[in-house]
Chains A and B, each alone.
Chain A
């Protein structure tokens, strides 16, 4: 649905353009904004076009994690065609190229470890003391979106969209619809959106049986082929003009996922109940290789329900704009999170601005998050050591510089630093684990260049 979002955003683009040249009704803009926020590409405000028009928005992104972890180079573009009668079509494309290593979920050991690759075709080793990273992560992702929007009555905006994306081991297909309606002299906009997606997980080598052991190279007897999941999202929103300088928005979102929600590549170490060290394999290592210890593939519940409340305010202070947002999320995996995002846009000369940004994020761990599995106890029904389901805090700090080119087009460059640091609950640490650095902290650099023009 990221794809959907991209498209959704196309709406917002035009909205801003619209507002720049016509302030006849910001409320329409607001409605459009709300819709755009609501998802995929919905309603961008549309004033009566006298002539059809094009709008192009393109960006190049570099995302790189330190320690040879994930690197992503991404191209994104949204092209929007405005027709007469306030109707518009936007089409978006995103291409991501991903490489690098990602934590396998196994714990560090004082001795070197070996693992079978997800394909089952070969093995890789990890030096003593190092965090086990699977370095076979390599993928290209192409996402497409299309969104149609049109007025519905005098005060309504309707949007319909679709999204699809394909990568080597994943296929996504989604549909969405949004409606926004203005009230109160167009100072209030209520909006509602729904998105449905069907995703198919085509894991390399086939999805492993949950909680089954990592097998030797060449043995794929625990693989089960492709899996799928369905996701439904509903977003209800209110946006409100408070004063000449202040606009606010509140959204409630509901998301329900059903199906295969595991990460097919993540494992957990099965450890000794006293030492906390990974149990060694019980048979001699075959010539083609295999795991040095006992590792079990993760298992998550096959349903997840998330609720979130998002609120945002934009406040103008003599030309400088403060953008403040907060989101609370809670789900039935017992994860709670809080996100605060602050930006301050500071004009410096005609058409140029600087925008510092700070984002704080914190989440609690899922109730089935485990650093490892204790062999002295019964296996739990669900377990995952995916660090993204753990207890961690994250900070994003960055600066963006925007300027206008000689022919009036918009360019911007942002540079941000993202850092995650987490902890494993003390009661989960067994024996030697207590003295180790168990959580794979993350540091990433984000650089994005954007270019926008109309004709």
Chain B
């Protein structure tokens, strides 16, 4: 278990280090700025889905805080 955790931490750090060489310059952000390229492009739909799946499945959240706040589960 401990070894797994250390491995995860190392992987995460490696990923972050890798990040520093990625990305684009400010003038190359036209596509990324589009509404349909946002990670959540339809917030109400996302919230609705989180609520539905929280009510019907044993997993919730992940994308954000997980569903809940109702007696439906």
**A interface residues with partner B (beta carbon < 8 Å):** 1-6, 8-13, 15-17, 19-20, 22-27, 29-30, 33-34, 36-40, 57-59, 61, 63, 74, 76, 78, 98, 139, 141, 143, 163, 165, 167, 169-170, 172, 174, 176, 183-188, 193, 195, 197, 199, 201, 231, 233, 235, 238-245, 247, 249-251, 253, 255, 263, 306, 308-310, 312, 314, 316, 321, 323, 325, 327, 329, 331, 333, 335, 337, 339, 345, 353, 361, 363, 366, 388-389, 394, 400, 412, 414, 418, 420, 442, 444, 446, 448, 450
Contact = CB atoms under 8 A, between A and B. Distances in A.
Nearest to B50: A5
Nearest to A14: B43
A172 B53 CA distance: 18
Given A1-B68, A240-B22, A337-B57, A17 B36 contact: no
A111 to B, nearest CB: 30
B6 interface: no
Interface string B61-73: 1111111111111
A241 B6 CA distance: 26
Contact of A335 (B29, B46, B58): B58
B54 A2 contact: yes
B7 interface: no
B71 A1 contact: no
A212 to B, nearest CB: 20
Contacts of A163: 69
B37 interface: yes
Nearest to B65: A39
Interface residues of B, number: 53
Given A19-B32, A23-B33, 5 more contacts: A20-B35, A40-B64, A238-B16, A308-B66, A329-B59
Given A6-B47, A9-B47, A244-B28, A388 B57 contact: yes
A5 B16 contact: no
A125 B24 CA distance: 65
Contacts of A12: 38-41, 43, 46
**Most-contacted residue by chain B among A187, A253, A263, A323 (CB, 10 A):** A187
Nearest to B25: A185
Contacts of A394: 56-57
B19 interface: yes
Given A197-B68, A253-B66, A442 B56 contact: yes
Contact of B70 (A165, A306, A339): A165
28 contacts: A1-B66, A1-B68, A1-B69, A2-B70, A4-B65, A12-B39, A19-B34, A23-B33, A29-B32, A57-B44, A141-B70, A172-B69, A176-B65, A185-B26, A186-B23, A193-B65, A239-B39, A241-B32, A244-B28, A253-B61, A306-B66, A309-B62, A310-B63, A321-B37, A329-B59, A335-B59, A353-B36, A389-B58
B69 to A, nearest CB: 4
Given A197-B68, A235-B64, A5 B57 contact: no
B42 A450 contact: yes
A170 B70 contact: yes
B66 A23 contact: no
Contacts of A38: 64-65
Given A308-B61, A363-B59, A420-B56, A33 B31 contact: no
